[in-house]
Amino acid sequence: MPERHRRTVRDLRRGNRATLLRRLYFEGPLSRQELAAHTGLSSASISNVTAELLADGLLEEAGSVGSDGGRPRTLLRIPPGAGSLIGVDVGETRIRVELFDISMTELARSVHPLKDGGHGDVTHVVRLIADGLAAVCGADVQRGPLLGIGVGVPGIVAEDPAGDGAVVHAQTVGWDAVPLESLLRSTAQLSSSTPLFVSNGAKTLGQAEMWFGAGRGARDAVIALIGSGVGASVITDGSAYGGAAQGAGEWGHTTMQLRGRRCRCGARGCLEAYVGAEAVLERWREAGGGRAPGADEESALAALLASEDPAAAEVLAETAEYLGAGIADLVNLFNPERIVLAGWAGLQLGARLLPAVREATAAYALRYPAARATIELGRLGTDAVTVGAATLPLNRFLTTGGAPQGPGG
């Protein structure tokens, strides 16, 4: 790669556009004055750049606010119609496609259920996604130009060395090096200039909580995602939001008990084998707990939480200890200021077990990082994977300053 780092004087303008856009996006309407103070740019430059952005339709004036006796400040904001975004959630049981405006208000959605093992037929999955895209794009709603598409998937996402875009490795659903990006581009006939991002669903949900949920404002945070499986999303130095260096997080397959319970990944003693919803229910069954026939995991877990059975209490206490210790690992490794427990099972378990989890974390983590970290529940519910996925092209939009630069190179 011959090129690196910024170069020409033009990048300055791009960078400043991006800075202003990002600030305006997250900190609501601001006056030029405040922008100058926050960004350190001179007021002259603010005028120039905002004039450009206004001309591009990326900004609009939004009333004004008095100033002790002087000319009132004109507030600026990004109009919701400045663009639209699509987020896709390739979940364990369904595929959801949602269309958002730039303020992440949902404009349309399309959901396809997916049978167990339905992931095996990749072509079918891709077709479902493409249908969903077509459906939301065809929806009769007012919206700006499409800024891009984000897709959240299970497993690990890597870049194809042959330049074929994102490739997905998802051991648990049987995907081995699936070139999802190129498949989707051709199946959905996407223009090559449409930004398309593929990322791990847990990371994606993490970004949603970081930007709009419980992680908002934190610099270093970890989003722990517990569903049937377990994942985590690590955000370090999230200052200015999208500057965030995102770490992956197959946290669920971290060893908590050497030679312990068999995990569906093949190894033994993984965290997921203890605190994943599937594993918790399995452990309850082993302890003699019942599961209403035909009940899905979600209601079965609710039943466990509601049970008065001492065996259930024991299972839950152990779950809290494992979860706390698992979180302690993250605390020790990353020293985050905030930990957000999310995912459907995480929210269910957390509502009841949070105090016990906090206690276990304090017991297993080192004192100093433990004192710094707070543990909270996620605020966005389970459906935020699409929001997080849509966040990917949104981040690109904010980072490039809405520049009309095709991703050809």
Partner DNA sequence: CGGTCTTATCTCAAGGCGTGAGTTAAGTAG
Partner DNA sequence: CTACTTAACTCACGCCTTGAGATAAGACCG
Among residues 13, 94, 109, 379, the one that binds DNA under rule CB under 7 A: 13
Number of residues binding to a copy of itself, judged by CB under 8 A? 62
Q: How far is the CB of 35 from a copy of itself (least distance, A)?
A: 11
Q: Buried (b) or exposed (e) across 270-298, using 16+ Cβ within 10 A?
A: bbbbbbbbbbbbbbbeeeebebeeeeebe
241 touching a copy of itself, by CB under 8 A: no
95 touching DNA, by CB under 7 A: no
Q: What is the DSSP letter of 245?
A: E
- Pick 293 or 409: Cβ nearer DNA: 409
- Pick 47 or 332: Cβ nearer DNA: 47
Question: How far is residue 17 from each of residues 47, 215, 279, 400, measured CA to CA in Å?
Answer: 11, 25, 48, 8
115 touching a copy of itself, by CB under 8 A: no
Q: How far is the CB of 393 from DNA (least distance, A)?
A: 24
179 touching a copy of itself, by CB under 8 A: no
Chain residues 139-158 in contact with a copy of itself, contact rule CB under 8 A: 155-156, 158
Cα–Cα dist 121/287, whole Å? 36
Pick from 135, 122, 93: nearest CA to 184? 122
Among residues 1, 2, 4, 9, the one that binds DNA under rule CB under 7 A: 9
Among residues 1, 2, 5, 69, the one that binds DNA under rule CB under 7 A: 69
- Helix axes of 277-286 and 344-364: crossing angle, nearest 10 degrees: 80
Q: Buried (b) or exposed (e) across 142-167, using 16+ Cβ within 10 A?
A: ebbebbbbbbbbbbebeeeeeeebbb
5 binds, among DNA, a copy of itself, none (CB under 5 to 8 A by kind): a copy of itself
399 touching DNA, by CB under 7 A: no
Cα–Cα dist 184/197, whole Å? 11
List all residues 6 or more positions away from 307 whose beta carbon is below 8 Å from its beta carbon: 289
Question: How far is residue 317 from each of residues 44, 179, 285, 313, measured CA to CA in Å?
Answer: 61, 42, 15, 6
194 touching a copy of itself, by CB under 8 A: no
Helical residues (DSSP H) of 27-74, grouped into ranges: 32-39, 43-55
5 touching DNA, by CB under 7 A: no
Facing residues of 65 across strands? 73
Question: How far is residue 109 from each of residues 42, 254, 298, 314, 379, measured CA to CA in Å?
Answer: 43, 35, 23, 41, 21
Among residues 100, 211, 241, 251, the one that binds a copy of itself under rule CB under 8 A: 251
226 touching a copy of itself, by CB under 8 A: no
71 binds, among a copy of itself, DNA, none (CB under 5 to 8 A by kind): DNA
16 touching a copy of itself, by CB under 8 A: yes
245 touching a copy of itself, by CB under 8 A: yes
191 touching DNA, by CB under 7 A: no
Number of residues binding to DNA, judged by CB under 7 A? 32
Name residue, tokens 């260096």. Answer: 245
103 touching DNA, by CB under 7 A: no
172 touching DNA, by CB under 7 A: no
Site of interaction with a copy of itself (CB under 8 A): 2-9, 11-12, 15-16, 19, 37-41, 155-156, 158, 169, 171, 232, 234, 236-237, 239-240, 245, 247-251, 253-258, 265, 267-269, 321-322, 325-326, 328-329, 332-335, 363-369
